[in-house]
Structure 1
């Protein structure tokens, strides 16, 4: 994809997987990428791949914008022709570098949500993966291929955080738990990315699960405070635009 001069330079891309673990709270996009990591999907047991690679940049960009929406850093509105626009909330930048980069891009002027997804998405995978490695949730390893060559692989880091996130999403979709905003956004983004069927061992791909996931995509997150209702509206707008964008791309 051609990069334009107005597109953001996502901070954090130079981070490395050094020994020091990250201590700040993970972003929604980090949680989403960790969920999309499939620990035992490689050619050999114990190695992993990322689900939905073909549409990943739209999905991660949707998570970044949803995070900004949940934190009241951005708001959405209607543009020309009924399009959805998103703009930065003035004087309310996020502290996280990756979120701040997207907020800076939006602070220049309001933009079409689809435009923002395409602009910020392509540079997100690498720095987000480095963060997960820095936290120990994922680790890099090497395996022999064909008994001769060593190849780099991604492996589960053993922290248990992916399992906890997946359990929260399962409780929401299967058990009907009262949705917390971040978990609801994660479930909606997973559904919109088209990757939920790949979680069938933990989250049965049934008609009730599909219906619940579609409700979450639409922002039907149940009762909540007025401030949360606003965040749901913003997030649902962003998630639905991410769904539209990913639907237009080939799926894995």
Structure 2
């Protein structure tokens, strides 16, 4: 499979749209995980898609302080404003650790534009208001849940039935388990959270779509887990 087709779009939607949709409660329009982890998942989806489409390459530096880096090796624009902004931010200061690249992308606040895109597609509705007339609040309840339901069924088939994951499904699974949101996205499976996460980690480790995709998923998952863990630690220490 060519690298550029490693994580194909579904109905023109990028992976970040799917992960944000899955992490947003249909009724309340609010995130099922805390806002920081939601934003990490969206940024992780973009980093993973950049790597899987050949814009970012996973490399291992040599020497005493050897480490894994992500480097922009193809700056060709996608013609997609969200992905193109992520690509520009990822390569702004040269190669860096996956965690550092993730943070560069997250600082662009792509979550806001992805929500706007889902509203434009007629999938979500934007509800903006103020608490006590002062503090702004936003919610994004579902209008059309058909695509999300199909995506959930696919993840259920992979994690519960045992079907081999597509590259896109493997990326989604890695992101969701990385921000500890998988059990919330797939309730009622009959599996414990521990078993569900264990299966998810095996799926993320599968060689789906070739070596380039596997490395991209691994690097993205490691960065998401590190950032999510740090965010949780910061919240609990406060």
* Interval of TM-score (by shorter of Structure 1 and Structure 2): 0.7 to 0.9
Deviation string, structure 1 residues 58-94 (Cα, Å, up to 9, x no partner)? 2111100111122122111124734321111235442
Give 1:234 deviation, angstroms: 1.8
Contact 1:179–1:221, Cα closer than 8 Å, also in 2? no
* Residues 1:186 and 2:172 are matched in the alignment: yes
Encode CA deviations 1:158-201: one digit per residue, 9 max, x unaligned: 24111111111111111111110001100111011101121353
Structure 2 counterpart of 1:48: 29
SS at match of 1:250: helix
Note if contact 1:85-1:113 (Cα within 8 Å) is conserved in structure 2.
Answer: yes
Cα distance in 1, alignment partners of residues 79 and 167 from structure 2: 20
Alignment of 1:1-252 (within 5 A): 25-40=12-27, 47-52=28-33, 53-79=35-61, 81-108=65-92, 109-122=94-107, 123-141=109-127, 153-206=139-192, 207-217=194-204, 219-221=205-207, 224=209, 228-250=210-232
Structure 2: gaps (5+ residues): 1-9, 132-136
Query: What's the TM-score once normalised by structure 1's chain length?
Result: 0.75
- Equivalent residues of 2:77, 2:84 under 8 A apart: yes
Q: Structure 1: which 5+ residue stretches go unaligned?
A: 1-22, 41-46, 146-150
Show the counterpart of 1:11.
none
**TM-score normalized by structure 2?**
0.79
Partner SS state of residue 243, structure 1: helix
More helix by share: 2
More strand by percentage: 1
In 2, Cα distance between equivalents of 1:29 and 1:105? 16
User: What secondary structure is seen at the aligned counterpart in 2 of 1:29?
Assistant: helix
Asked whether the 8 Å contact 2:44–2:175 carries over to 1, the reply is yes
Q: CA shift at 1:24, angstroms?
A: 7.1
**CA-to-partner distance for each residue in 1:125-173, whole Å, 9 max, x for gaps?**
1111001111111113489x9xxxxx86432112411111111111111
Distance 1:212 1:159 in 2: 26
Partner secondary structure for residue 59 of structure 1: helix
